[in-house]
Structure 1
Amino acid sequence: MASVKKVELGSDGLAAESGVMTVYSYDPETGLCTGASDEYLAQGVGIPANSTTNVPAACKSGKVCVFNDGEWVQVDDHRGETVYSTATLKPVEITLPGEYPEGTTPLKPATAFDVWSGKAWKTDVKAQQAAAVSDAVAKKSALIIEANSVTQAWQTQLLLSIITDVDRASLTRWMQYIQEVQATDESGAPDINWPEKPE
Protein backbone atom coordinates (compact mmCIF):
# COMPACT_ATOMS: atom_id res chain seq x y z
CA MET A 1 0.00 0.00 0.00
CA ALA A 2 1.42 3.35 -1.01
CA SER A 3 1.93 5.93 1.71
CA VAL A 4 0.07 9.20 1.43
CA LYS A 5 2.22 12.28 1.16
CA LYS A 6 2.30 14.60 4.17
CA VAL A 7 1.66 18.19 3.15
CA GLU A 8 2.26 21.59 4.65
CA LEU A 9 0.25 24.75 4.36
CA GLY A 10 1.53 27.67 2.40
CA SER A 11 1.67 31.23 3.72
CA ASP A 12 -1.90 31.66 2.43
CA GLY A 13 -3.11 28.84 4.73
CA LEU A 14 -3.83 26.49 1.79
CA ALA A 15 -2.21 23.19 0.82
CA ALA A 16 0.45 23.77 -1.83
CA GLU A 17 -0.15 20.21 -3.07
CA SER A 18 -2.54 17.35 -2.29
CA GLY A 19 -1.82 15.12 0.69
CA VAL A 20 -2.50 14.42 4.37
CA MET A 21 -2.01 16.71 7.33
CA THR A 22 -2.58 16.10 11.06
CA VAL A 23 -4.98 18.66 12.50
CA TYR A 24 -6.27 19.22 16.03
CA SER A 25 -9.98 19.97 16.30
CA TYR A 26 -11.64 22.08 18.97
CA ASP A 27 -15.17 22.87 20.05
CA PRO A 28 -16.26 26.19 18.49
CA GLU A 29 -18.03 27.31 21.68
CA THR A 30 -15.60 26.28 24.41
CA GLY A 31 -12.33 25.85 22.49
CA LEU A 32 -11.87 22.42 24.11
CA CYS A 33 -9.64 20.05 22.16
CA THR A 34 -11.84 17.34 20.63
CA GLY A 35 -9.03 15.26 19.16
CA ALA A 36 -6.51 14.86 16.37
CA SER A 37 -7.12 13.48 12.91
CA ASP A 38 -5.26 13.04 9.64
CA GLU A 39 -7.14 15.07 7.04
CA TYR A 40 -6.70 14.73 3.31
CA LEU A 41 -6.27 18.17 1.77
CA ALA A 42 -6.55 18.72 -1.95
CA GLN A 43 -4.22 21.27 -3.46
CA GLY A 44 -5.50 24.80 -2.77
CA VAL A 45 -7.69 23.71 0.18
CA GLY A 46 -7.24 24.74 3.83
CA ILE A 47 -7.77 22.76 7.01
CA PRO A 48 -11.33 22.13 8.30
CA ALA A 49 -13.11 24.77 10.35
CA ASN A 50 -12.52 24.68 14.11
CA SER A 51 -9.16 22.99 13.76
CA THR A 52 -5.50 23.96 13.90
CA THR A 53 -2.12 22.49 13.05
CA ASN A 54 -0.76 23.65 16.41
CA VAL A 55 -0.14 20.68 18.70
CA PRO A 56 -1.77 21.07 22.15
CA ALA A 57 0.60 20.58 25.08
CA ALA A 58 0.00 17.81 27.60
CA CYS A 59 -2.27 19.26 30.25
CA LYS A 60 -1.47 19.25 33.94
CA SER A 61 -3.85 17.60 36.38
CA GLY A 62 -6.98 19.71 36.89
CA LYS A 63 -6.41 21.59 33.63
CA VAL A 64 -7.66 21.27 30.05
CA CYS A 65 -6.35 22.67 26.79
CA VAL A 66 -8.54 25.17 24.97
CA PHE A 67 -7.81 26.92 21.71
CA ASN A 68 -8.02 30.67 22.27
CA ASP A 69 -6.77 33.54 20.10
CA GLY A 70 -4.78 31.26 17.81
CA GLU A 71 -3.04 29.20 20.47
CA TRP A 72 -3.62 26.38 22.95
CA VAL A 73 -3.85 27.52 26.56
CA GLN A 74 -4.33 25.52 29.74
CA VAL A 75 -7.29 26.53 31.89
CA ASP A 76 -8.74 25.16 35.11
CA ASP A 77 -11.15 22.27 34.66
CA HIS A 78 -13.94 22.32 37.25
CA ARG A 79 -16.53 20.60 35.04
CA GLY A 80 -18.79 18.31 37.07
CA GLU A 81 -18.15 20.21 40.30
CA THR A 82 -20.92 21.96 42.21
CA VAL A 83 -20.51 25.55 43.36
CA TYR A 84 -22.95 27.81 45.18
CA SER A 85 -24.28 31.21 44.23
CA THR A 86 -23.11 33.79 46.75
CA ALA A 87 -26.34 35.74 46.11
CA THR A 88 -29.00 32.99 46.15
CA LEU A 89 -27.13 30.09 47.86
CA LYS A 90 -28.42 27.83 45.07
CA PRO A 91 -26.16 25.06 43.74
CA VAL A 92 -24.73 25.49 40.24
CA GLU A 93 -23.11 22.62 38.32
CA ILE A 94 -20.01 23.62 36.37
CA THR A 95 -20.32 22.59 32.71
CA LEU A 96 -17.62 24.70 31.04
CA PRO A 97 -13.86 24.82 31.53
CA GLY A 98 -12.25 27.82 33.19
CA GLU A 99 -12.41 29.60 36.51
CA TYR A 100 -15.42 29.29 38.78
CA PRO A 101 -18.22 31.56 37.53
CA GLU A 102 -18.25 35.00 39.12
CA GLY A 103 -20.52 35.19 42.14
CA THR A 104 -20.01 31.53 43.10
CA THR A 105 -17.95 29.58 45.62
CA PRO A 106 -17.18 25.88 46.07
CA LEU A 107 -17.95 26.28 49.79
CA LYS A 108 -21.41 24.93 50.64
CA PRO A 109 -23.58 27.15 52.86
CA ALA A 110 -24.45 25.57 56.22
CA THR A 111 -27.95 27.05 56.50
CA ALA A 112 -30.55 28.74 54.32
CA PHE A 113 -29.71 31.94 56.21
CA ASP A 114 -26.03 32.13 55.31
CA VAL A 115 -24.59 35.31 53.79
CA TRP A 116 -21.35 35.40 51.78
CA SER A 117 -18.74 37.63 53.44
CA GLY A 118 -16.35 37.54 50.48
CA LYS A 119 -14.30 34.73 52.00
CA ALA A 120 -16.72 32.52 53.92
CA TRP A 121 -20.39 31.94 54.72
CA LYS A 122 -21.71 33.66 57.86
CA THR A 123 -25.10 32.72 59.27
CA ASP A 124 -27.49 35.68 59.59
CA VAL A 125 -28.71 34.76 63.07
CA LYS A 126 -31.37 37.50 63.13
CA ALA A 127 -32.93 36.30 59.87
CA GLN A 128 -32.73 32.70 61.06
CA GLN A 129 -34.47 33.63 64.33
CA ALA A 130 -37.13 35.68 62.52
CA ALA A 131 -37.90 32.71 60.25
CA ALA A 132 -38.08 30.35 63.23
CA VAL A 133 -40.52 32.70 64.98
CA SER A 134 -42.61 32.99 61.82
CA ASP A 135 -42.71 29.18 61.55
CA ALA A 136 -43.71 28.94 65.23
CA VAL A 137 -46.55 31.45 64.74
CA ALA A 138 -47.81 29.40 61.79
CA LYS A 139 -47.55 26.16 63.78
CA LYS A 140 -49.39 27.72 66.72
CA SER A 141 -52.23 28.79 64.44
CA ALA A 142 -52.38 25.34 62.81
CA LEU A 143 -52.51 23.59 66.21
CA ILE A 144 -55.37 25.84 67.38
CA ILE A 145 -57.33 25.29 64.15
CA GLU A 146 -56.83 21.52 64.48
CA ALA A 147 -57.94 21.54 68.14
CA ASN A 148 -61.00 23.67 67.34
CA SER A 149 -62.04 21.20 64.64
CA VAL A 150 -61.77 18.36 67.17
CA THR A 151 -63.88 20.20 69.77
CA GLN A 152 -66.47 21.77 67.47
CA ALA A 153 -69.09 19.00 67.78
CA TRP A 154 -68.61 18.78 71.55
CA GLN A 155 -69.09 22.56 71.94
CA THR A 156 -72.39 22.34 70.03
CA GLN A 157 -73.48 19.40 72.19
CA LEU A 158 -72.55 21.37 75.32
CA LEU A 159 -74.66 24.35 74.19
CA LEU A 160 -77.60 22.02 73.54
CA SER A 161 -77.06 20.26 76.89
CA ILE A 162 -76.76 16.90 75.17
CA ILE A 163 -73.06 16.21 75.77
CA THR A 164 -72.07 13.00 77.55
CA ASP A 165 -69.82 13.02 80.61
CA VAL A 166 -67.03 11.32 78.63
CA ASP A 167 -67.21 13.92 75.84
CA ARG A 168 -67.40 16.74 78.42
CA ALA A 169 -64.14 15.50 79.98
CA SER A 170 -62.54 15.29 76.51
CA LEU A 171 -63.76 18.80 75.69
CA THR A 172 -62.24 20.11 78.91
CA ARG A 173 -58.86 18.47 78.17
CA TRP A 174 -58.85 19.85 74.61
CA MET A 175 -59.87 23.37 75.74
CA GLN A 176 -57.05 23.32 78.31
CA TYR A 177 -54.71 22.22 75.52
CA ILE A 178 -55.88 25.18 73.37
CA GLN A 179 -55.19 27.54 76.28
CA GLU A 180 -51.68 26.07 76.68
CA VAL A 181 -50.99 26.47 72.95
CA GLN A 182 -52.28 30.07 73.03
CA ALA A 183 -50.00 30.82 76.00
CA THR A 184 -46.92 29.43 74.24
CA ASP A 185 -44.33 32.13 73.57
CA GLU A 186 -43.10 31.95 69.97
CA SER A 187 -40.17 34.29 70.59
CA GLY A 188 -38.05 31.39 71.88
CA ALA A 189 -38.23 29.58 68.55
CA PRO A 190 -36.96 27.17 67.48
CA ASP A 191 -36.56 25.89 71.07
CA ILE A 192 -40.24 25.65 72.01
CA ASN A 193 -41.80 22.95 74.17
CA TRP A 194 -45.22 22.60 72.59
CA PRO A 195 -47.95 21.17 74.83
CA GLU A 196 -48.93 17.56 74.18
CA LYS A 197 -52.24 16.89 72.49
CA PRO A 198 -54.87 15.11 74.56
CA GLU A 199 -55.53 11.51 73.67
Structure 2
Amino acid sequence: MKTYARIENNKVAEVVSLDIAPEKLYHPSLKWVDITALGNKPAQNDDYKDGVFTAQVVEVESPVFLAVSKLAGLMAEAGQVIAPLQDAVDVGMATDEEAARLVAWKKYRVLLSRVDTSKAPDITWPVKPE
Protein backbone atom coordinates (compact mmCIF):
# COMPACT_ATOMS: atom_id res chain seq x y z
CA MET A 1 0.00 0.00 0.00
CA LYS A 2 1.26 3.46 -0.89
CA THR A 3 0.40 6.88 0.50
CA TYR A 4 -0.37 9.81 -1.79
CA ALA A 5 -0.98 13.51 -1.33
CA ARG A 6 -3.44 15.22 -3.66
CA ILE A 7 -2.19 18.68 -4.55
CA GLU A 8 -4.56 21.51 -5.33
CA ASN A 9 -3.49 25.17 -5.65
CA ASN A 10 -0.03 24.31 -4.29
CA LYS A 11 -1.50 22.87 -1.10
CA VAL A 12 -2.14 19.35 0.17
CA ALA A 13 -5.88 18.83 -0.34
CA GLU A 14 -5.94 15.30 1.08
CA VAL A 15 -3.74 12.36 1.98
CA VAL A 16 -4.84 8.83 1.08
CA SER A 17 -3.40 5.32 1.28
CA LEU A 18 -4.22 3.08 -1.67
CA ASP A 19 -3.34 -0.32 -3.09
CA ILE A 20 -3.70 1.09 -6.62
CA ALA A 21 -2.35 4.20 -8.30
CA PRO A 22 -4.74 7.12 -7.70
CA GLU A 23 -4.76 7.94 -11.42
CA LYS A 24 -6.68 4.71 -11.95
CA LEU A 25 -9.38 5.68 -9.45
CA TYR A 26 -9.67 9.44 -9.79
CA HIS A 27 -9.98 11.94 -12.60
CA PRO A 28 -6.69 12.27 -14.50
CA SER A 29 -6.66 16.06 -14.05
CA LEU A 30 -5.94 15.65 -10.33
CA LYS A 31 -2.31 15.98 -9.23
CA TRP A 32 -1.00 13.23 -6.95
CA VAL A 33 2.40 12.91 -5.25
CA ASP A 34 3.66 9.61 -3.84
CA ILE A 35 4.68 10.33 -0.24
CA THR A 36 5.15 6.72 0.90
CA ALA A 37 8.89 7.10 1.46
CA LEU A 38 8.68 10.37 3.39
CA GLY A 39 9.46 10.10 7.09
CA ASN A 40 7.24 13.01 8.06
CA LYS A 41 4.08 12.90 6.01
CA PRO A 42 2.55 16.23 5.03
CA ALA A 43 -0.81 17.21 6.48
CA GLN A 44 -3.83 18.74 4.84
CA ASN A 45 -3.22 22.40 3.89
CA ASP A 46 0.56 22.05 3.96
CA ASP A 47 2.24 23.93 1.12
CA TYR A 48 3.75 22.09 -1.84
CA LYS A 49 6.17 23.77 -4.23
CA ASP A 50 8.94 22.39 -6.44
CA GLY A 51 8.67 18.93 -4.87
CA VAL A 52 8.94 20.22 -1.29
CA PHE A 53 6.25 20.12 1.40
CA THR A 54 6.18 22.90 3.99
CA ALA A 55 4.05 22.69 7.11
CA GLN A 56 1.68 25.51 7.94
CA VAL A 57 2.97 27.85 10.62
CA VAL A 58 0.63 28.23 13.57
CA GLU A 59 1.05 31.37 15.58
CA VAL A 60 1.14 29.89 19.07
CA GLU A 61 1.05 33.31 20.67
CA SER A 62 -2.35 34.00 19.13
CA PRO A 63 -4.93 34.67 21.89
CA VAL A 64 -7.50 32.54 20.06
CA PHE A 65 -5.06 29.62 19.71
CA LEU A 66 -4.21 29.85 23.39
CA ALA A 67 -7.90 30.01 24.35
CA VAL A 68 -8.73 26.98 22.20
CA SER A 69 -5.87 25.05 23.83
CA LYS A 70 -6.97 26.08 27.32
CA LEU A 71 -10.57 25.13 26.58
CA ALA A 72 -9.54 21.71 25.29
CA GLY A 73 -7.52 21.06 28.44
CA LEU A 74 -10.33 22.17 30.75
CA MET A 75 -12.89 20.06 28.87
CA ALA A 76 -10.61 17.02 29.11
CA GLU A 77 -10.13 17.57 32.83
CA ALA A 78 -13.88 17.91 33.35
CA GLY A 79 -14.48 14.68 31.45
CA GLN A 80 -11.93 12.84 33.59
CA VAL A 81 -13.56 14.04 36.80
CA ILE A 82 -17.12 13.39 35.60
CA ALA A 83 -16.57 9.83 34.34
CA PRO A 84 -15.96 8.05 37.67
CA LEU A 85 -18.60 10.16 39.43
CA GLN A 86 -21.13 9.23 36.75
CA ASP A 87 -20.11 5.57 37.08
CA ALA A 88 -20.75 5.72 40.83
CA VAL A 89 -24.19 7.21 40.23
CA ASP A 90 -24.98 4.71 37.47
CA VAL A 91 -24.25 1.69 39.66
CA GLY A 92 -25.91 3.11 42.75
CA MET A 93 -22.69 3.54 44.73
CA ALA A 94 -22.46 7.35 44.82
CA THR A 95 -22.42 9.16 48.11
CA ASP A 96 -24.45 12.36 48.46
CA GLU A 97 -21.20 14.31 48.16
CA GLU A 98 -20.25 12.50 44.93
CA ALA A 99 -23.70 13.09 43.43
CA ALA A 100 -23.44 16.81 44.25
CA ARG A 101 -19.92 16.98 42.76
CA LEU A 102 -21.20 15.30 39.60
CA VAL A 103 -23.89 17.94 39.14
CA ALA A 104 -21.39 20.75 39.78
CA TRP A 105 -18.87 19.37 37.27
CA LYS A 106 -21.55 18.79 34.64
CA LYS A 107 -22.73 22.40 35.02
CA TYR A 108 -19.12 23.53 34.71
CA ARG A 109 -18.69 21.48 31.53
CA VAL A 110 -21.85 23.02 30.05
CA LEU A 111 -20.49 26.50 30.83
CA LEU A 112 -17.19 25.57 29.19
CA SER A 113 -19.04 24.40 26.08
CA ARG A 114 -20.52 27.89 25.80
CA VAL A 115 -17.17 29.70 25.87
CA ASP A 116 -16.60 31.62 22.63
CA THR A 117 -12.86 31.32 22.02
CA SER A 118 -13.04 33.76 19.11
CA LYS A 119 -13.40 36.54 21.71
CA ALA A 120 -9.98 35.83 23.22
CA PRO A 121 -8.36 37.30 25.20
CA ASP A 122 -11.61 38.84 26.50
CA ILE A 123 -13.05 35.64 27.95
CA THR A 124 -14.58 35.19 31.38
CA TRP A 125 -13.77 31.59 32.17
CA PRO A 126 -16.20 29.62 34.37
CA VAL A 127 -15.01 28.82 37.88
CA LYS A 128 -13.89 25.22 38.34
CA PRO A 129 -15.82 23.28 40.99
CA GLU A 130 -13.96 22.09 44.09
**Post-superposition offset of 1:166:** 1.1
Aligned to 2:102: 171
Aligned to 2:85: 154
Gaps in structure 2 of 5+ consecutive residues: 1-57
**Post-superposition offset of 1:193:** 0.6
Residue type matched to 1:184 in 2?
Answer: V
SS in 1 for 2:62: helix
SS in 1 for 2:113: helix
**Post-superposition offset of 1:135:** 1.2
| Residue-by-residue CA offset, 1:64-96 (whole Å, 9 max, x unaligned) | xxxxxxxxxxxxxxxxxxxxxxxxxxxxxxxxx
Once the two structures are superposed, the pairs formed by residues 175-194 of structure 1 within 5 Å of their partners are 175-194=106-125
| Residue-by-residue CA offset, 1:120-178 (whole Å, 9 max, x unaligned) | xxxxxxx98x9211111111110011111122211111111211111100110010000
Residue of structure 1 aligned with 2:73, choices 138, 142, 146: 142
Instruction: For CA contacts below 8 A with separation 6 or more, give which structure has more relative contact order.
Output: 2
How well do the aligned residues superpose, as a CA RMSD in angstroms? 1.9
Residue type matched to 2:62 in 1?
Answer: A
Q: Greater CA radius of gyration, 1 or 2?
A: 1
Residue type matched to 2:113 in 1?
Answer: Q
Using the size of structure 1 for normalisation, the TM-score is 0.34
| Identical residues among aligned pairs (%) | 36
Aligned to 1:87: none
Relative to total residues, which structure has the larger helix share, 1 or 2?
Answer: 2
Residue type matched to 2:100 in 1?
Answer: A
Residue type matched to 1:152 in 2?
Answer: A
SS in 2 for 1:193: coil
Using the size of structure 2 for normalisation, the TM-score is 0.51
Number of equivalences: 72
Gaps in structure 1 of 5+ consecutive residues: 1-126
Once the two structures are superposed, the pairs formed by residues 1-199 of structure 1 within 5 Å of their partners are 131-199=62-130
